[in-house]
Amino acid sequence: MSEYRTETDSMGELQVPADALYQAQTQRAVNNFSISGLAMPKQFITALAYVKQAAAQSNCELGHLDKKKAQAIERACQEVIDGQHLEQFPIDVFQTGSGTSTNMNANEVIATLASRYNDDLVHPNDDVNMGQSSNDVIPTTIAVSSVINVVYELFPALDQLSQMLERKKAEVGEIVKTGRTHLMDAMPVTFNQTLNTWQHQVDTAMAAIRHSLDGVSALAQGGTAVGTGVNADPKFAEQFCKNLTTNVGIRFTPSKNFFYNIGSQDAIVSLSGQLKVLAVAQMKIANDLRWMNSGPLAGLGEIELEALQPGSSIMPGKVNPVIPEAAAMVSAQVIGNDATITVAGQSGNFELNVMLPVIAYNILQSIELLANSSRALADKAIRTFKVNQSNIDKALAKNPILVTALNPVIGYAKAAKIAKQAYQSGQPIIDVAEQETELSRAELEKLLNPTKLTQGGL
């Protein structure tokens, strides 16, 4: 048998691999876009199949598509949703800015599969793409894939991280440690206060992401080429969202302005911005963990992260904070992805944004990376770290900043003198304060009690 077959489109004949489910337009895109070797993400292809499935159902229900053809298309789409045939979507991310090549790739693959389940041939354009344009399909698919993966992947991971921080607070929360500002000794804090800060960052970021989904879940589908809805039934958009909501299990609605969704990607830019906030929060958590774990002898050594792997190819016994390092790199990648999405979002030229594939690739990568790194932080860093009580107590006892508590009693100038003397002599602050003031040891123990100082007030 020949390794190729001949396919024909509006531009003429083309050789296509004999076993390919796609047809001529996909092959032209494969030939034209040998740029990165990066295909569109699996999550995007799955969402695109959901879009085609809901479109077929809707066109059938509205009386425009033969029932047997519609059922064959739905069956073919379900195979893609179930993870089959992903190798049939080879087109490079860096392609035509509308994503037309990927839309036609899906139309052709689904048409080929559906034709196997139907007496008549199913046409990629006339049947699978009925009432649609790449210009509303691809923005819709970006939105649907983003919402699906935030709801089903990222939110559960963030819930897991938040719950793990809650558990750790119950385990070590009452322990008092030296606080730090400018990386320098400051007033004491509890582990509860430190962990609660991280948890609040995670929860606040999650709430903002959730709010941004309101705009993302209002879809472009039904606007077709430029937003006017040409060649689509006026009832299509509403019916489409109804079917998609049922199929996916997440509520989607038609946009109130199709021109907005097709000409701009502002809703996705907003979502990406909130993912960046989460990345910044994750970077703070990762860096705090690294600093607290530093040493173990010449650093802070306040905590001991779980030893997961050897840390050096030349220094025996070295163990590194690999999970916080990985999480920090994820944060850097997500921040970079947001910059790409921001630039791409500016490319809404008149009635169409023309950087849709790279927006899709980056937003989905950000969601996936943050979900995976959140789980890793929860399971392999927060859950398992141990507190080095002796190191904490030693540093806390000699922390000259504790003298701040004496300001209302002896004044700032006297307190500063005591702090310098304690630092220079290496003595505990309470010993120097007893020597330099008329306060009794009992009074000083009460005033300089680290636990009391974490509670604020006079």
Annotated active-site residue in 312, 331, 374, 390: 312
Q: Among residues 417, 258, 230, which one has the least CA distance to residue 353?
A: 258
What residue spans of 82-133 are helical by DSSP H? 100-116
Is 182 in the active site?
Answer: yes
SS3 at position 370:
helix
Which DSSP letter does residue 296 get? S
Tell me the helices (H) and strands (E) count for the chain, helix number first.
18, 10
Q: What are phi and psi of 310, to 5 degrees?
A: -60, 145
Question: What is the rounded distance in angstroms from the CA atom of residue 147 to the CA atom of residue 134?
Answer: 20
| Cα atoms found within 13 Å of the Cα of residue 342, Cβ hemisphere only | 10
Question: What is the rounded distance in angstroms from the CA atom of residue 230 to the CA atom of residue 57?
Answer: 19
Q: What is the DSSP string of 244-287?
A: HHHHHSS--EE-S-HHHHHH--HHHHHHHHHHHHHHHHHHHHHH
Tokens of 417: 């003198």
Is 312 in the active site?
Answer: yes
Annotated active-site residue in 182, 211, 374, 440: 182
Q: Among residues 153, 191, 189, 148, which one has the least CA distance to residue 169?
A: 191
Q: How far is CA 403 from CA 129, 423, 456, in A?
A: 73, 11, 14
CA pseudo-torsion sign 445, 397, 381, 147: positive
Question: What is the rounded distance in angstroms from the CA atom of residue 403 to the CA atom of residue 418?
Answer: 7
Question: What is the rounded distance in angstroms from the CA atom of residue 212 to the CA atom of residue 279?
Answer: 16
Beta-bridged to residue 14, according to DSSP, are 7
- Say if CB 212 and CB 271 are below 8 A apart: yes
Q: Which residues are known to be catalytic? A: 182, 312
